[in-house]
Amino acid sequence: MLSVPLEVNLSKRNHSGNKPDSPLMENSTSQSQKQTFLSHGSSSTTSKIKLYSHYRSSCAWRVRIALNLKEFRRLSPLGFIPVLVDGDFVICDSYAILLYLEEKYPQIPLLPVNLKKKAYNLQVANIVSSSIQPLQMIGLLKSIEEKVGLEEKLSFARHHITKGFNALEILLQKISGKYATGDQVYMADIFLAPQISNAVVRFNIDMSMYPNLKRINEAYLEVPAFQEALPERQPDAVTLDVTS
* Residue 198 near a second copy by CB under 8 A: no
Determine which residue in the list 20, 41, 43, 148 makes contact with a second copy, applying CB under 8 A.
148
- Output b/e per residue, 148-174; b: 16+ Cβ within 10 A: eeeeebbebbeebbbebbeebbebbee
- Output b/e per residue, 10-35; b: 16+ Cβ within 10 A: bbbbeeeeeeeeebbebeeeeeeeeb
Residue closer to a second copy, measured from CB, 170 or 221: 170
In the structure, how many helices (H) and strands (E) does the chain have? 9, 6
CA distances from 114 to 117, 169, 212, 216 (A): 5, 21, 22, 21
DSSP state of 136: S
Residue closer to a second copy, measured from CB, 126 or 212: 126
Size of the site for a second copy (CB under 8 A): 29
x-or-dash string of contact with a second copy, 76-105, rule CB under 8 A: -------------x-xxx-xx--xx--xx-
Q: How far apart are CA 221 and CA 185, in angstroms?
A: 12
* Residue 209 near a second copy by CB under 8 A: no
State in angstroms the smallest separation of the CB of 221 from a second copy. Answer: 26
Determine which residue in the list 130, 166, 173, 184 makes contact with a second copy, applying CB under 8 A.
130
Residue closer to a second copy, measured from CB, 93 or 169: 93
Task: Indicate the residue type of 22.
Answer: S
* Sequence-separated contacts (24+) of 195-201 with Cβ below 8 Å: 195/58, 195/128, 195/132, 195/133, 197/230, 198/58, 198/136, 199/161, 199/165
Map the footprint of a second copy across residues 42-81, applying CB under 8 A: none
Determine which residue in the list 25, 122, 238, 240 makes contact with a second copy, applying CB under 8 A.
122
State in angstroms the smallest separation of the CB of 56 from a second copy. Answer: 18
Determine which residue in the list 152, 184, 218, 224 makes contact with a second copy, applying CB under 8 A.
152
Contact set with a second copy (CB under 8 A)? 89, 91-93, 95-96, 99-100, 103-104, 115-116, 118-119, 122-123, 125-127, 129-131, 133-135, 140, 147-148, 152
